[in-house]
Structure 1
Amino acid sequence: MTDTDLTAVADDDRRGASPIGPVHAVIIDLDGTMVDTAGDFMAALNAVLGEFDLPPIDQAEVVAYVGKGSEHLIRSVLSARLPPTEAEQRFDVVLAGYQRAYAVVNGRHTRLYPDVIRGLDALRAARIKLACVTNKPLRFALGLLEQYGLRPYFEVVFGGDSLPRKKPDPLPMLAACDALGVPHAQAVAIGDSENDARAARAAGLATLTVPYGYNHGQPVQSIDSDGIVSSLLEAARWVTASSAVQ
């Protein structure tokens, strides 16, 4: 999908996102929201699947599984290829192999989505505090943020292994707000999937959805969010408009 197509999708499907009041913090997802990492997932998975003589995976299947952490990803991949008992028996060793392979490819097949830097710059210029909350293991998330020059924007970064529970549980959102020192009602979560929106809703945050990510293969129109925005730059404009409402 081209950049023009992405904008057209958002223009056609936006559901009237409107200002909700002052916003002092924004919590942003990583995979599928700031960076397109489907190529990394596919490369790492095929490396480990090849080690175990299992059928390879294509990008469409990858996109249907990502977003709920590495454990869910590996369980989904194995359950599509092996009987349940054998899939469970192989889980630990395949997960370990996948994480080794991912450490090698992290960032190699990744690209920034359009207007990510411009959106982050706009949020920073508006003095909005920023956190990145992802289900990706923290060491991989930090490595990716560093590679693409995104790390300095974020006061707080939580990975899927930073806390006892990950999205869609609200704990990471609540913890990020607490770490930023911002009330939950004054924060907005931005993501590409139902996981992000569910976590934000349960934590009492407003939530925006970008249309170009993964969402487990489901249409973004099915997500219960406060609006679909075409990019992080448009999200920054929405946040700025909300902050102007006193």
Structure 2
Amino acid sequence: MAIRTPDMILIDVDGTLVDSVPDLAFCVDEMMKQLGREPWGETRVRDWVGNGVERLVRRALIGQLDGEPDEAEFEKAYPVFLDLYAENTSKRSVLYPGVKEGLDYLRAAGYPLGCVTNKAAQFTLPLLKDLGIYDYFGIVVSGDTLEHKKPHPAPLLHAAEFFKVSPERSLMVGDSISDVKAARAAGFQIVCLPYGYNHGEDIRIAEPDLVIETLAHLKGELEQAA
């Protein structure tokens, strides 16, 4: 399916621009050890990422996607994780292949770019800066910037208003069902990458407008867009 030429492009962080699981998994496992419990390992943690670190900690405590841990245990664990992640936000995280190339093309082509993530600002901004991509974005909407976060449409609509662009002229690039739901609710087009964090499910099931292999592949699609 083809996409229409957008006037503005928003891009997700975790699972789209950055493979942040190595740092997140390290922090989860260290947290578990400090709680006197067995670590999970990177493969398990990878399926739990994508809805912010509070949700990740809750999932780690119960060892599954859905459900809630004992609240007292969560209250003990969460500060431990936050301290660990503050020191390990970008030590092991890397840009996915094609990200820098894709961002360079989008900037050169004159597209206003924004970043919309469910990660809290205290982790998002250092991560983007440490990996050298912060300056590509005219706005960064983090998970705690507004009252709501994805899949609510508010972060996307907030960025569209910032750039003074209508939702139907806007494009979201993400990797998860949360990105697809947010884009649909906001009236954006949605393009997804297949390699990210969608809890082990193929993102094509969520029926985005388009799936591309890397961010660099967006160039060809935009050059063909109506």
TM bin, normalised by shorter chain, reads over 0.9
Deviates more, 1:103-112 or 1:54-63: 54-63
Residue of structure 1 equivalent to 2:125: 142
Residue of structure 2 equivalent to 1:103: 86
1:44-67 superposed Cα distances (whole Å, 9 cap, x missing partner): 111111111112011222111111
The alignment status of 1:116 with 2:69, answered yes or no, reads: no
Q: Please give the residue correspondences for 1:78-89 in structure 2 after superposition, counting only pairs within 5 Å.
A: 78-80=61-63, 87-89=70-72
The alignment status of 1:57 with 2:29, answered yes or no, reads: no
Q: Structure 2 vs 1, CA of residues 85 and 112 (structure 1 numbering), >3 Å: closer, same or farther?
A: closer
Please tell me whether the aligned partners of residues 160 and 166 of structure 1 are also in contact (alpha carbons under 8 angstroms).
yes
Aligned partner of residue 208 in structure 2, secondary structure? coil
- What is the letter of the counterpart of residue 28 of structure 1? I
1:91-150 superposed Cα distances (whole Å, 9 cap, x missing partner): 122111101100111111111111111101111111111001111111211101101110
Counterpart of 1:172 (choices 155, 159, 164) is: 155
Residue of structure 2 equivalent to 1:68: 51
Partner Cα distance (1:85, 1:235) in 2: 38
Partner Cα distance (1:232, 1:75) in 2: 31
Partner Cα distance (1:60, 1:162) in 2: 30
Residue of structure 2 equivalent to 1:14: none
When normalised by structure 2's length, the TM-score is 0.94
Q: Structure 1: which 5+ runs fail to align?
A: 1-16
Q: Structure 2 vs 1, CA of residues 122 and 58 (structure 1 numbering), >3 Å: closer, same or farther?
A: same
- What is the letter of the counterpart of residue 30 of structure 2? A
Q: Structure 2 vs 1, CA of residues 85 and 24 (structure 1 numbering), >3 Å: closer, same or farther?
A: closer
When normalised by structure 1's length, the TM-score is 0.87
- What is the letter of the counterpart of residue 141 of structure 2? F
Residue of structure 1 equivalent to 2:208: 225
Identity %: 34
Residue of structure 1 equivalent to 2:109: 126
Question: Once the 2 structures are TM-superposed, how far is the Cα of residue 184 of structure 1 from its aligned partner?
Answer: 0.6
Say which structure is richer in helix.
Answer: 1
Partner Cα distance (2:70, 2:117) in 1: 26
Deviates more, 1:37-46 or 1:213-222: 213-222
Runs of 4+ in 1 over 2 A off after TM superposition: 84-87, 239-242
Q: Structure 2: which 5+ runs fail to align?
A: none
Residue of structure 2 equivalent to 1:25: 8
Please tell me whether the aligned partners of residues 194 and 224 of structure 1 are also in contact (alpha carbons under 8 angstroms).
no
1:167-191 superposed Cα distances (whole Å, 9 cap, x missing partner): 1111111111111221111111011
Aligned partner of residue 132 in structure 1, secondary structure? strand
What is the root-mean-square deviation of aligned Cα atoms in Å?
1.5
Question: Once the 2 structures are TM-superposed, how far is the Cα of residue 86 of structure 1 from its aligned partner?
Answer: 6.2
Partner Cα distance (2:96, 2:31) in 1: 27
Partner Cα distance (2:7, 2:69) in 1: 49
Partner Cα distance (1:59, 1:232) in 2: 24
- What is the letter of the counterpart of residue 177 of structure 1? A
Partner Cα distance (1:210, 1:73) in 2: 21
Partner Cα distance (2:69, 2:51) in 1: 22
Aligned partner of residue 37 in structure 2, secondary structure? coil
Please tell me whether the aligned partners of residues 74 and 91 of structure 1 are also in contact (alpha carbons under 8 angstroms).
yes
Partner Cα distance (1:148, 1:239) in 2: 25
